[in-house]
Amino acid sequence: MDFSITPDQRLMQESLARTLADVSGLERVRRFAGDPADKGADVYAALADFGLTGIVIPEEYGGLGLGLLDAALAAEALGAAVAPGPFLGACVLAPLALRLAGSKAQQGEWLPKIAAGQVVAGVAIAEQVAGARDGAGVTASGGKLTGKALFVTDALIADLFIVADQAGGLHLVRGDAAGLTRSAMISIDLTRPLGEVVFAATPAEPLEGDAGALAALRDAGWTLLAADTLGAAQVMIDKAVDYAKERRQFGRVIGSFQAVKHLCAEMAAELEPCRALVWYAAYAFDDAPDEASLTAAHAKAHTSEVGRFIARTATEVHGGMGITDLLGLHFWFKRIGLNRQLLGGPERVRRLAAQIQGLTA
Amino acid sequence: MDLKLTPQMEAFREEVRGFLAAHRDHYAGGVAGSRPREAALEWQRLLIEQGYAARTIPKAYGGYGAEPDILKTRIIAEEFTRAGAPRGFANQGISMLVPTLLEVGSEEQKTRWIGPTLRGEVVWCQGYSEPGAGSDLASLQTKAVEDGEDFIISGSKIWTSTAAQADMIFCLVRTEPDAAKHDGISYILFPMTTPGIEVRPLKTMTGSAEFNEVFFTDVRVPQSAVVGGRGRGWFVANATLKHERGMLGDPNATEARLHSLIELMKTERVDGERLIDNPVMCDRLMQLQARVMAMKFNGLRLLTASMTGEPAGMAGLVVKLQGCELNHQIAALAIDALGELGVLYEDGPHLRAKGSWQWNYMFDLGLIIGGGTAQIQKNIIAERGLALPREPKLASV
């Protein structure tokens, strides 16, 4: 019995953090956020060099062949760095969809290109997980998709899309397919662009494998969003604690006031158990499938609640500086804010958690 | 991460299950109680003999004498919980005094006290807090004045659970009045039958007296009863408090309570609707389930750390604060979900679970305060975990 991450996993995470510090420091994040034409190609190339584009892709297709726990550790590092550009959909959910439901031919065609960083895949599953809004929803008929999908990851730059239809089936759509149009959905978090994709009798290839693939994508998505929040929230705590040790008022560092230090303690006390919860959810995805959905739901909902508390409290510990653009703390605040709502806010996810374990209908 | 158990461990699990199945009639009627009765004493002796209690305490001191194996300890805990079988005694003598004696006790003290304590033949109470020394425990004033071979002890203690039933007390007293606050304290053992001790029950909001006040008037105790060296009591006690905090945040107990709450919400109905089908109540239940899960996995992480000898760090510092709060919130949701029925407390046709949800809700508030208040826990997390500065000392107030 070993409930810990391995030395190799720790090394990978630390090494990724160093890579991100090099290629994606706060100034790089600011440029990406401030310029819609900036596609973050340099950052993505660094992720590909690191192997993240193939992290869950089997080695036979040029990937690293690692598990969801490794992907979650990477997501944590990316959240900590508020790293701009594709990861969740392009590097994890799309490859997982192909792995779980794609044919050999589909896997052979796309996985090597994704692993090499040559193809960015957008993922359109929001309606099937978080619910359909504003008339969104996609129907499949005769090899064609019709309708629209919201909150599609990397919608503007994707070369390929994985699309869930209203019946829960998954489809593969080429970025240049006929009748496909895309537009940006600008959220608070400018580090991870989302978009709307409209399909008008757009040719699509079904992914015909495992019928449970959509649920698996949902579980993986929930877990990685939680991991991203874990990383971002830890940085917010670290920054707040550092600030509280330096900032002086009334002749003392503010961290010596219990009113401030207790806020810091509460943040740490709330976040630390989330780490074990996220690890377990990611582990369960690969090794304890019976528990995967419930633990993923709880990891997502709970870490989102804790994340909101920390985003707000860490900002408050910084006093007025906390809300300035100059400090840049808001990048983490907004990252946590997006993670909370994407693929369902906590209330919706908890309702699903009760259903998943058969407590409610 | 590899949570699979080896075949040897699975075999050990089967062995524990087999024992519990074979001895169901020994414990089915319940054996608990703060002053162990004969059936409980017999059960405890059986558990020690099997290695399901006092497992790693050396045989020479009355334990089972196994090598420490955290995984086996955990399997025992899980199987006893699953079977609804009472664990070995977990009173303050066993949880706090025995580990302390093993760490710093003299050979004579270990031989004399550990065995009878493990077997439940000697019951202890803890004399730490005083009316004027709560969170600031080191300011305690109960004094022990040297008189020949003895100390003469005067003063009072409060929050002393089981003082009325206890045979013995492990007590903090000030032996060096002129030494610095933390350096003048000794940890001493003496019988509760010693002349000059008065125990007064301390009734709490639950309606019963879970605690006592203990008054010492010229209580004569031999100096040889000091544990860990005269003036070293503060450091001895801190070793003990570490054991208490571990006991107060046990995630297995919290998980068991959550299961009771889920059963309650699945079976109870209002206007024909199951409590769990009320979306607001269900949402609150799911919030708590997530927290219970997080603390359970945090516990597995701590277990791994203690197996590999790594420091527990922040994951360990948060257990008391979070565990006690969580227990309290589980009881709070049970009361809320029961609605008007949730206020019933005395026997009657409508009372649920013998009023235990209200009792827990009130008693657990005491646990949030006791063993280091939530505010003290936050100081510990901030100072030891985050390296934030201590509150500056004031010259005078």
Residue B363 sits in a domain of what CATH number?
Answer: 1.20.140.10
**Mean pLDDT of the region A272-296:** 97
**Which residues on A lie below 8 Å from B321 (Cβ)?**
269
| Alpha helix segments (H runs only) across B28-127 | 38-50, 70-83, 92, 98-104, 107-118
Question: What is the model's pLDDT at position B248?
Answer: 67
Best residue of A66, A223, A254, A272 to probe chain B, by most B CBs closer than 10 Å: A272
Residue B244 lies in a domain: no
Question: What is the model's pLDDT at position B238?
Answer: 86
Range A125-128 contact pairs with CB under 8 angstroms and sequence separation of 24 or more: A125/A93, A125/A162, A125/A163, A125/A164, A125/A214, A125/A217, A125/A218, A125/A221, A125/A343, A126/A150, A126/A151, A126/A152, A126/A342, A126/A343, A127/A164, A127/A166, A128/A164, A128/A166, A128/A168, A128/A214, A128/A218
Stretch (H or E) spanning B212: strand B211-222
Mind listing the pLDDT tens digit for each residue in A223-282?
999 999 999 999 999 999 999 999 999 999 999 999 999 999 999 999 999 999 999 999
Q: Which domain holds residue A63?
A: 7-115
Are A252 and A346 contained in the same domain? yes
Are A65 and A106 contained in the same domain? yes
Q: Which domain holds residue B215?
A: 124-232
- Nearest CB among B1, B293, B378 relative to A2 is that of B1
Stretch (H or E) spanning A333: helix A329-341
Question: What is the model's pLDDT at position B37?
Answer: 79
Are B216 and B260 contained in the same domain? no
Q: How far is CA A47 from CA A18, A55, A92, A236, in A?
A: 12, 10, 13, 23
Mind listing the pLDDT tens digit for each residue in A325-345?
999 999 999 999 999 999 999
Q: Beta A194-203 vs A180-185: how paired, if at all?
A: antiparallel
Are A195 and A221 contained in the same domain? no
Q: Which of A308, A335, A87, A326 is nearest to A187 (CA)?
A: A335
Are B159 and B280 contained in the same domain? no
Residue A171 lies in a domain: yes
Q: Is residue A302 within 8 Å of B291, Cβ to Cβ?
A: yes
* Token pair belonging to A335: 């990252």
The rounded distance, in Å, linking the Cα atoms of A83 and B146 is 68
Q: Pick from B46, B73, B89: which residue ends a domain?
A: B89
CB contact under 8 A, B287 and A276: no
CB contact under 8 A, B385 and A280: no
Are B225 and B336 contained in the same domain? no
Are B216 and B297 contained in the same domain? no
pLDDT along chain B (397 residues), means of 10: 90 96 81 70 94 94 89 87 86 91 95 97 96 94 97 97 95 96 96 98 94 97 97 89 65 89 97 97 98 95 86 93 96 97 96 96 94 94 96 68
Q: Is residue B347 within 8 Å of B359, Cβ to Cβ?
A: no
Q: Beta A160-164 vs A121-124: how paired, if at all?
A: parallel
What's the one-letter identity of residue B164?
Answer: A
- Which neighbouring-strand residues pair with B186? B173
| Alpha helix segments (H runs only) across B309-386 | 314-317, 319-338, 356-369, 374-380
- Nearest CB among A3, A6, A241 relative to B300 is that of A3
Angle between helices A258-287 and B279-308 (to 10 degrees): 90
Question: What is the model's pLDDT at position A1?
Answer: 79
Q: Is residue A99 within 8 Å of A58, Cβ to Cβ?
A: yes
Q: Which of A173, A147, A140 is nearest to A159 (CA)?
A: A173
**Mean pLDDT of the region A105-116:** 98
- Nearest CB among B2, B285, B388 relative to A245 is that of B388
Q: Where do the DSSP E strands lie in chain A?
A: 121-124, 137-141, 144-153, 160-164, 170-174, 180-185, 194-203, 205-207, 248-249, 252-253
Residue B277 lies in a domain: yes
Are A271 and A192 contained in the same domain? no
Best residue of B12, B276, B293, B333 to probe chain A, by most A CBs closer than 10 Å: B293
Residue B397 lies in a domain: no
**SS3 (DSSP) at B28:** coil
CB contact under 8 A, A272 and B315: yes
Percentage of residues in chain A having pLDDT higher than 90: 98
Residue A154 sits in a domain of what CATH number?
Answer: 2.40.110.10
Are B374 and B331 contained in the same domain? yes
Residue B142 sits in a domain of what CATH number?
Answer: 2.40.110.10
Q: Is residue A288 within 8 Å of A214, Cβ to Cβ?
A: no
Mind listing the pLDDT tens digit for each residue in A298-334?
999 999 999 999 999 999 999 999 999 999 999 999 9
Are A267 and A313 contained in the same domain? yes
B10 is catalytic: no
Q: A265 and chain B: CB distance < 8 Å anywhere? A: yes
Are A312 and A237 contained in the same domain? yes
Q: Is residue A274 within 8 Å of B390, Cβ to Cβ?
A: no
What's the one-letter identity of residue B150?
Answer: D
Are A37 and A147 contained in the same domain? no
Catalytic residue among B198, B244, B268, B391: B244
The phi, psi pair for A323, rounded to 5°, reads -95, 5
Q: Is residue B345 within 8 Å of B361, Cβ to Cβ?
A: no
Residue A335 sits in a domain of what CATH number?
Answer: 1.20.140.10
**Mean pLDDT of the region A69-97:** 98
Are A157 and A238 contained in the same domain? no
Chain B residue with minimum CA distance to A6: B1
Residue A361 lies in a domain: no
Question: What is the model's pLDDT at position B240?
Answer: 67
What's the 3-state SS for B73-90? Answer: HHHHHHHHHHHCCCCCCC
Residue A1 lies in a domain: no
Are A12 and A98 contained in the same domain? yes
Residue A187 banded pLDDT, cuts 50, 70, 90: very high
Are A223 and A182 contained in the same domain? no
The rounded distance, in Å, linking the Cα atoms of A90 and A162 is 10
Q: A350 and chain B: CB distance < 8 Å anywhere? A: yes
Distance to chain A for B261, nearest Cα, Å = 12
**Contacting residues for A66 by C-beta, under 8 A, at least 6 apart:** A55, A56
Are A275 and A326 contained in the same domain? yes
How many domains does one find in chain B?
3
Distance to chain A for B12, nearest Cα, Å = 14
Q: Pick from A115, A142, A158: which residue ends a domain?
A: A115
Are B158 and B196 contained in the same domain? yes
How many domains does one find in chain A?
3
Q: Pick from A115, A136, A155: which residue ends a domain?
A: A115
Q: Is residue A89 within 8 Å of A121, Cβ to Cβ?
A: yes
Q: What is the mean pLDDT of chain A?
A: 97
Residue B128 lies in a domain: yes
